[in-house]
């Protein structure tokens, strides 16, 4: 868990980078490449965790972090014997997972994502929780193949299935399953070790996060390696602890919602107090997190 503190996370990274010399900032980003199985790797740099799958049929990349990091990512891919990605999947639309899209699209990489990822990237948008305006992605950076439910890649002697989970972190999340290798990239359904951001402004919900985490757990066994969107690579047991924490917090907050409490009253009552020491040290402090989640909860 302590390693989390050593990783600069996406949204904080953006805030920090706007305050210091941006070029210098990106230069300092270092990659940690973790070999999971034969030709499948997790790469942790800045922003959402990447997965890279290399082989004779071509290199397959999951997510692409930020535009200034594209060349570094390519360098890391070459180090493990890969090449310019043939395919790139976006697990969802957020800028710390799709920032390199335009660069990769211009290089001829085929970008694939859920229908709503393309819709959200194609227009100007906001992320009110972070006071951020996001400009539309140029045409070259938009997914050119989209799907509503799932899609399967048959490459490098592996079956890779990307499938949509509903209204979880956003309205367009995909989970990617390497069937034979028993590896799953969970996208931002999983923030391993800390409270997750939930994009309630664009269809995300705590209920959906819990359902999606359960879906991933049900596909996993004790040997499954699960790459989270943020935080260290983990397993089914780690994911279960996170899912159970989310469920407990949901139940607590639902009670407050039933009682008609305002967000101010809820925050004052410190509803996540028991969980904060373990889960409240990521990029969202407990108050921010409760604010995001509570505002997204349906009134009973």
If the CB atoms of residues 165 and 181 are measured against Zn ion, the closer one turns out to be 165
Handedness of CA 291, 202, 226, 38 (dihedral sign): negative
Q: Is 102 in the site for Zn ion (CB under 5 A)?
A: no
What is the three-class DSSP state of 139?
Answer: helix
Distance of CA 59 to the CA centre of its chain: 20
If the CB atoms of residues 181 and 200 are measured against Zn ion, the closer one turns out to be 200
If the CB atoms of residues 102 and 188 are measured against Zn ion, the closer one turns out to be 188
> Which pairs count as long-range contacts for 4-8, CB under 8 Å and 24+ apart, including other chains?
4/192, 4/193, 4/194, 4/231, 4/232, 4/281, 4/282, 5/281, 7/44, 7/46, 7/230, 7/231, 8/46
If the CB atoms of residues 77 and 120 are measured against Zn ion, the closer one turns out to be 120
If the CB atoms of residues 113 and 252 are measured against Zn ion, the closer one turns out to be 113
If the CB atoms of residues 158 and 188 are measured against Zn ion, the closer one turns out to be 188
Distance of alpha carbon 161 from alpha carbon 177, whole angstroms: 5
Binding mask 81-100 for Zn ion (x = CB under 5 A): -------------x------
- Per CB under 5 A, which of residues 173..232 are in contact with Zn ion? 188
Applying CB under 5 A, what is the total number of residues that bind Zn ion?
2
Shortest distance, position 63 Cβ to Zn ion, whole Å: 10
Distance of CA 151 to the CA centre of its chain: 19
Pairing of strands 125-127, 32-37: unpaired
Distance of alpha carbon 74 from alpha carbon 84, whole angstroms: 7
Shortest distance, position 57 Cβ to Zn ion, whole Å: 29
Distance of alpha carbon 79 from alpha carbon 42, whole angstroms: 13
Of 70, 37, 32, 64, the residue nearest 53 (C-alpha):
37
Beta bridge partners of 184: 177, 226
Shortest distance, position 204 Cβ to Zn ion, whole Å: 9
If the CB atoms of residues 105 and 172 are measured against Zn ion, the closer one turns out to be 172
Shortest distance, position 209 Cβ to Zn ion, whole Å: 11
Shortest distance, position 48 Cβ to Zn ion, whole Å: 7
Distance of alpha carbon 295 from alpha carbon 287, whole angstroms: 12
Shortest distance, position 92 Cβ to Zn ion, whole Å: 6
Shortest distance, position 25 Cβ to Zn ion, whole Å: 20
Q: Given the rule CB under 5 A, which residues bind Zn ion?
A: 94, 188
């Amino acid at each position: 868990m302590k390693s989390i503190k050593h990783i600069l996370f996406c949204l904080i990274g953006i805030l920090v980078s706007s305050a210091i010399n941006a070029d210098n900032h990106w230069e300092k980003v270092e990659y940690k490449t973790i070999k999971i199985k034969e030709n499948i790797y997790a790469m942790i740099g800045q922003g959402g965790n990447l997965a890279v799958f290399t082989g004779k049929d071509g290199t397959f990349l999951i997510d692409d972090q930020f535009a200034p990091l594209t060349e570094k990512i390519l360098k890391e891919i070459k180090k493990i014997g890969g090449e310019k990605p043939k395919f790139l999947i976006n697990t969802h639309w957020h800028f710390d997972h799709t920032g390199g899209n335009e660069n990769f699209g211009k290089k001829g990489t085929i970008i694939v994502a859920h229908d709503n990822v393309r819709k959200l990237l194609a227009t100007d948008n906001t992320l009110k929780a972070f006071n951020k305006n996001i400009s539309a992605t140029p045409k070259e950076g938009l997914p050119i193949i989209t799907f509503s439910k799932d899609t399967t890649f048959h490459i490098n002697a592996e079956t890779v299935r990307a499938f949509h989970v509903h209204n979880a972190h956003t309205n367009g999340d995909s989970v990617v399953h390497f069937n034979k290798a028993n590896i799953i990239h969970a996208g931002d359904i999983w923030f391993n070790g800390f409270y997750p951001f939930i994009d309630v402004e664009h269809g995300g919900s705590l209920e959906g996060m819990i359902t999606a985490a359960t879906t991933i757990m049900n596909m996993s066994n004790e040997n499954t390696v699960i790459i989270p969107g943020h935080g260290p690579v983990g397993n089914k047991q780690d994911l279960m602890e996170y899912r159970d924490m989310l469920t407990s917090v949901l139940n607590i907050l639902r009670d407050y919602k039933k009682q008609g409490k305002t967000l101010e009253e809820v925050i004052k009552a410190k509803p996540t107090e028991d969980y904060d020491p373990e889960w409240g040290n990521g990029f969202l402090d407990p108050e921010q997190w409760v604010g995001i989640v509570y505002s997204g909860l349906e009134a009973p």
